[in-house]
Amino acid sequence: MKAKKFLAFALVAVLALGMLGLAGCGAEDEPAETPAEGDAGDELSGSITVEGSDTMVNLGQALTEAFMDENMGVDVSVAGGGSGVGVASLINGTVDFANSSRPMKDEETDEAEANGVNPVEFIVAYDGIAIIVNPSLEVDDITFEQVGAIYRGEITNWSEVGGPDLDIVLLSRDTSSGTYAFFLEHVVQQDDKEAVYAASARLLPSTQAIVDETIANEAAIGYVGLGYVVPEIKELAVDGVEASVDSVKDGSYSVARPLFMYSNGEPVDVAKAYIDWILGADGQAVVAELGFVPVD
């Protein structure tokens, strides 16, 4: 009888220990505590559309890629087409930001306000407009006045500015471009606000098209933003100074301008985070990396 009681007691003890062991295992296998509700919502998310200046399109894409690397929940799309195209899209309410290599015109601002759009301007970088030629051309320096005369059609042969006997091939952006408008106002019209581009000027659809044609044509002359200057082309010094980050910063280069982004009203939420990032240290580092001049 005592043996039976002992065996029964032992069996109960073993079962009890087994239950405790199972309970212990269960506690170890429980999943980690779920983060408090709302923690995941701290990640920035949303979408942003940007359109406009071809001068700024490479810069815009580089800024976008760097921003999205830091903010995986945000989708930013950037398109070119010219400053006029970007501003028109902003006026029509189809983009969050318009990239523009010129200030908005008074008539554009009036049209925007009539359409219920309140343009807010941000200067995001500065740019020098480089005067470029084919590397084989035996001209290295030109005056500001000569550049204007060439683009007005008053100087038509490279021999008139110390070069070979070649008819000058004029390359320009098309009329939708902010760079076209800036160059017209500040270079072509330097002495005469009624002056226009020479009829012989070839109006090209993008800055890259100007670069490509300059590489291919020994008699060509064009103008591009600093970010498009590549080793395959030659940059002319203007009054002894080449376009560079330093010469734009110190004001010694005469063909320079700010680059703009426009929003409809003060940006909020993800759009505000985007423009704040561009104007901050990380964004301005990308501006410098692309060959433009930071705002600071």
pLDDT band at 191 (very low <50, low <70, confident <90, very high): confident
pTM above 0.75, yes or no: yes
pLDDT tens digits for range 145-157: 999 999 999 999 9
Whole-number percent of the chain with pLDDT over 70:
86
Backbone phi, psi, residue 46, to 5°: 140, -175
Distances (CA, A) of 76 to 33, 34, 126, 256, 275: 34, 31, 22, 28, 12
**Cβ distance 60 to 99 under 8 Å?**
yes
Distances (CA, A) of 14 to 18, 148, 173: 6, 101, 90
**Cβ distance 151 to 170 under 8 Å?**
yes
Would you state the pLDDT for residue 33? 39
Q: Is the pLDDT of residue 232 over 90?
A: yes
Would you state the pLDDT for residue 296? 76
**Cβ distance 71 to 88 under 8 Å?**
no
pLDDT tens digits for range 61-76: 999 999 999 999 999 9
For residue 240, which amino acid is it? G
Q: Please work out, in degrees rounded to the nearest 5, the angle formed at the alpha carbon of residue 21 by the alpha carbons of 15 and 27.
A: 140
Q: Is the pLDDT of residue 31 over 50?
A: no
Q: Is the pLDDT of residue 27 over 50?
A: no
CATH 1.10.10.10 is right for the domain spanning 127-256: no
pLDDT band at 42 (very low <50, low <70, confident <90, very high): low
Domain ranges of the chain: 47-126+258-289, 127-256
| Averaged pLDDT for residues 53-67 | 95
Reading the block at residue 259, the tokens are: 């680059």
pLDDT band at 35 (very low <50, low <70, confident <90, very high): very low
Average confidence score pLDDT of the chain: 88
The reply to whether domains 47-126+258-289 and 127-256 share a CATH topology is: yes
Q: Is the pLDDT of residue 24 over 80?
A: no
3-state secondary structure 150-178: HHHCCCCEHHHHCCCCCECEEEEECCCCH
Q: Is the pLDDT of residue 36 over 50?
A: no
pLDDT tens digits for range 64-115: 999 999 999 999 999 999 999 999 999 999 999 999 999 999 999 999 999 9
Residue partners of 53: CB distance under 8 A and separation at least 6 = 80, 82, 83, 86, 99, 100, 101, 177, 178, 179, 259
**Cβ distance 255 to 145 under 8 Å?**
no
The position carrying tokens 């008539």 is 107
**Residue predicted with more confidence, 33 or 270:** 270
Beta-strand pair 234-238/141-142: parallel
Fold of 47-126+258-289: D-Maltodextrin-Binding Protein; domain 2 (3.40.190)
Distances (CA, A) of 207 to 5, 82, 161, 177: 98, 10, 25, 9
Would you state the pLDDT for residue 252? 95
For residue 50, which amino acid is it? V
Question: Cα separation of 253 and 75, whole Å?
Answer: 37
